[in-house]
Amino acid sequence: MTLIRIALVDDEPDFRQPVARYLHKRGMTVFEAGSIEALRGMLSDISPNIILLDVGLPGESGMDAIKSLREESNAGVIMVTAHGGLEARIEGLGRGADSYLCKPVSMRELEAVVLSLWRRIRNSDTVATAAETTKAQPAEEWNFDVEAWVLISPDGEAVRLSAAEYGVLLQLTATPGEPVSRDHLFVALKKPQSGPDDRSLDVLVSRLRRKFSTSAFKLPIQSVRGVGYVFPGPVSRRSPVTQDAITPPAGRQKS
């Protein structure tokens, strides 16, 4: 049986902790966060199936974060908030939330909504996986032009890379399918090693994913918990390059 992974984002421990205990007893894995910033710090590691999101959070609000969370994660989003007016509900659903629940919320109702959304997500993933298996492999190949500093999606969207993005992709595409450690990838960011609170690599990967805005293909770079990242492939590099001879194309500055 697949455990449902829940990210519970609420700045009130008196609400967050009882909900986490209840869902845990119902067989779900729950990760708690008190803000959007805290959630982003662990998002790539926990890969939640569903995010339970409050609106009134310190810093970035839950309402403002829905769109970017949709871009950074495939998780479903359920708003659980005291902002229960009709306009707030319409705005939340309009911004991309799958469901909208008002506090105080019944634990049984919350569980039912979570399970309903999980069934929709699981069915959607099954359909998507089946569709992917029918595609010809050559059509799914990514192309990395190491001389022009351009990454090209299987359907032709070309994205020019910054120096940091180029260095990270150079590491990942050298051995497609094999995880590369965070420390190795931090070399491309001009840093000696990764610190426990340094999320610059995760931010870079998220930003690079968002650059492919018109492609039907998502950038396949995946987080490997406890290790780093992997580019599962297939990917081709259009020209040979060595780590000791990385020079940007004319007019491009390393950053």
pLDDT of 13 strictly over 70: yes
Q: Which two tokens stand for residue 29?
A: 């894995």
Q: What is the pLDDT of residues 135-163, one digit of tens each?
A: 434 447 899 999 999 999 988 899 999 99
Residue 12 pLDDT greater than 70, yes or no:
yes
Q: Write out the residue limits of the CATH 3.40.50.2300 domain(s) in the chain.
A: 5-133
Shortest CA distance to 9 belongs to which of 72, 77, 111, 71? 77
Q: What is the CATH number of domain 138-237?
A: 1.10.10.10
Q: What is the pLDDT of residues 168-189, one digit of tens each?
A: 999 999 888 889 988 888 887 8
| pLDDT for the residue numbered 244 | 41
Q: DSSP string covering 99-117, please?
A: EEEESS--HHHHHHHHHHH
Provide, rounded to the nearest whole percent, the portion of the chain with pLDDT above 70. Answer: 84
Specify the domain boundaries for CATH 1.10.10.10 within the chain: 138-237
pLDDT at 127 over 70: no
- In this predicted structure, what is the pLDDT of residue 190? 78
Q: How far apart are CA 211 and CA 158, in angstroms?
A: 9
User: Residue 245: what pLDDT?
Assistant: 38
Q: What is the pLDDT of residue 155?
A: 87
Say which CATH superfamily domain 5-133 falls into: Response regulator (3.40.50.2300)
Give the mean model confidence (pLDDT) for residues 83-99: 85
Question: What are the pLDDT digits (tens) for 236-245?
Answer: 887 544 444 3
The model's pTM is: 0.51
Report in angstroms the alpha-carbon separations of 154 from 14, 31, 142, 158, 234.
48, 35, 5, 10, 10
How high is the pLDDT of residue 247? 46
Phi, psi of 45 (to 5 degrees): -80, -35
Residue 253 in this model has a pLDDT that exceeds 50: no
Mean pLDDT of the region 224-235: 85
The residue to which tokens 């004319």 are assigned = 250
d(CA 70, CA 133): 24
The residues, any chain, with a CB within 8 Å of residue 3's CB and separated by 6 or more, are 27, 28, 29
